[in-house]
Amino acid sequence: METTETRPASPIGADEAEFMNVARSGDAGRFALLTERYRRELLVHCYRMLASYEDAQDLTQETFLRAWAKRESFQGRASLRTWMYRIATNACLDFLEKRRDRTPVPIELQGDGGTGTEVLYLQPWPDSEPDGPHERAVARETIELAFIVAVQHLPARQRAVLILRDVLGWPAQQTADTLELTLASANSALQRARATMREHLPDGRLYWSARAKHELSADEQRLVSAYVRAHETLDIDGLTALLRADLRFAMPPEPGVVWVGREATVQSWIDGGFGRGDYVDWKCRTTTANGQPAVAAYLRRPGSQAYEAFAMDVLRVEDGLVAEIVTFGSDVFEWFGLPPRLEAS
């Protein structure tokens, strides 16, 4: 299987030698200088493990606290980056061991009468400009919501094995050592993880391309523009025409709010008041989340002088149409640098 992210550097380099000197001296300033460069990519790693941006922030901070506490244990047998990833992975595993609510829950799907699962704790990843070679190597497909949700269906250690092997490109023995598994156990866990991922990823794919996660295609940009235009003009027919027949619509963390099917989903919006009463005056701003198009909607209620942050739709596009919409509350706007309100012109 192809991987796209840079493999850990071979020890021992200048950074590793300096870090061992820092560990002996207890120089907190130098420690920060040597380790902070990994913060962003470790945050991505924790997010893949946990599917929650807030949890990932907490566990990334926990990683640095553990690294400081364990600094004298670093012997340079692995690169500093690898050592930091090892600490982050085990911090996430410890968190998942304590939080039994961090697993998908079974639900009844609205619209088609079927059953499925939902990740209630799912949060969007706020894209930003890549600030280092390792982040530039992040495959778009390994941060998009479909991948993040599929990973959540794996037991914690299988999740870690898959991410370390297939996303980060770690060697099998290094992965086994990090997770304190035998090589045979680690390889077996990887095979089981891949099989489960095929069941939950769209089209059962297991190939991660290297397309930068911030680049939307021209077709995606046109589709988003049409989506915004239809939303702001209350064009239900135009909005419906942009959706696949088998559209999936979810609103985590709302339990059970998962609709399958274009007509059923649109009807749920109409029943919820879209285009009537207080829900007629909208402005939208576009961004990207998880390497996918995202539309932030602001609502101006009657008598108000401003449009207030309302919700963010993260779109998955297939064959020129919207295949999935995951809607998050306005509390995520701050993560994307979006204002809480827009003044009415």
For 153-199, write each residue's pLDDT tens digit. Answer: 999 999 999 999 999 999 999 999 999 999 999 999 999 999 999 99
* For residue 211, pLDDT beyond 60: no
Name residue, tokens 């304590």. 98
Task: Return mean pLDDT, the chain.
Answer: 89
Which of the residue ranges 16-30, 260-274, 303-317 would you say has the lowest mean pLDDT?
Answer: 16-30
Gap between the Cα atoms of 64 and 21, Å rounded: 18
Chain mean position to CA 70: 29
Residue type, 140: R
Chain mean position to CA 187: 25
295, β-bridge pairs = 286, 313
Q: Return the structure tokens found at 309.
A: 């942050």
Q: Return the structure tokens found at 10.
A: 């071979």
* For residue 320, pLDDT beyond 90: yes
Gap between the Cα atoms of 137 and 146, Å rounded: 19
Full-model pTM: 0.90
Exposed/middle/buried for residue 207 (C-beta within 10 Å: 0-12, 13-18, 19+): exposed
Write down the H helix ranges in 163-290: 172-178, 183-200, 218-232, 236-240, 262-271
Which tens digits make up the pLDDT trace of 38-68? 999 999 999 999 999 999 999 999 999 999 9
Which tens digits make up the pLDDT trace of 120-149? 999 999 987 555 555 544 556 789 999 999
Exposed/middle/buried for residue 302 (C-beta within 10 Å: 0-12, 13-18, 19+): exposed
Alpha-carbon distances, residue 316 vs 83, 293, 306 (angstroms): 35, 7, 30
- What pLDDT was estimated at residue 130? 52
Q: What percent of the chain has pLDDT over 70?
A: 90
- What pLDDT was estimated at residue 202? 81
- Phi, psi for residue 170 in degrees, rounded to 5: -70, 150
More confident residue, 342 or 214: 342
Q: Confidence class of residue 214 from pLDDT cuts 50, 70 and 90?
A: low
Q: Confidence class of residue 8 from pLDDT cuts 50, 70 and 90?
A: very low
Q: Confidence class of residue 1 from pLDDT cuts 50, 70 and 90?
A: very low
Gap between the Cα atoms of 93 and 71, Å rounded: 20
Q: Are 330 and 310 in contact (CB under 8 A)?
A: yes
- What pLDDT was estimated at residue 294? 97
Task: Evaluate the omega torsion of the peptide bond into residue 11 and state whether it is cis, within 30 degrees of 0.
Answer: no
